[in-house]
Structure 1
Amino acid sequence: MRKLLLLSLAIASPLAFAGPQCSTAEQSQWQDQTKFQENLKAEGYEIKKFKVTAGNCYEIYGWNKDKQKVEIYFDPVSGKAVKSEID
């Protein structure tokens, strides 16, 4: 019984920390990654890390124009923020 519980927790754990689902559109419809990052930088963001998530999001780690630490998930088609965390 204990092994079953541990196995269940191990399988469910990654799901608990999964990010949002941002898009179901084909990647051919997504904004160009380089241009997207350049636009964010022009808005005052400093990007430490940029990645594409399993939920089809553009995710950035860095700082906003107010120098606050941020983690933001963007819809790669519309460019709108889907989820954000500011420290």
Structure 2
Amino acid sequence: MQLRYALAIAALALSPVAAYASPNCTTESSDNWMSKQDMKTKIEELGYKIKTFEVTGNCYEIYGWTSDDKRAEVYFNPVTGDVVEAEIDG
């Protein structure tokens, strides 16, 4: 019985982390998304240097650097190209 409670508490404690893992970037169908190449071009125009580019949930996401060489993890709306969430080091 105690193990069941411990597992339930652990699941509750971890659930906010999983929910925060990637933001909700759009509700639009992927048919309406900017092409990956167009999005990469827009990201570079915004001043980011891309190390990796991927689709995460309903977002385009990069790991890379800002124009002033700070490490960055950035989520973009795949329809508009707007930044939805960014974590910039330093």
TM-score by length of 1: 0.82
Once structures 1 and 2 are overlaid, which stretch shifts more, 37-46 or 18-27?
Answer: 37-46
Q: 1:49 to 1:11 in 2, by over 3 A?
A: farther
RMSD of the alignment, in Å?
Answer: 2.0
Structure 1 residue 2 displacement after superposition: 2.6
Instruction: Give the length in aligned residue pairs.
Output: 86
1:8 and 1:53 mapped to 2: Cα distance? 28
Q: Which of structures 1 and 2 has the bigger CA Rg?
A: 2
What secondary structure is seen at the aligned counterpart in 1 of 2:42?
Answer: helix
Q: Could you tell me how far 1:47 is from its partner in structure 2?
A: 0.7
Give ranges in structure 1 of 5+ residues lacking alignment.
Answer: none
Give 1:26-45 correspondences, 5 Å limit: 26-45=29-48
Identity of aligned residues (%): 40
Q: Give TM-score, length-normalised by structure 2.
A: 0.80
What is the distance in 2 between the residues matched to 1:21 and 1:2? 34
| 1:80 aligns to 2:82 (yes or no) | yes
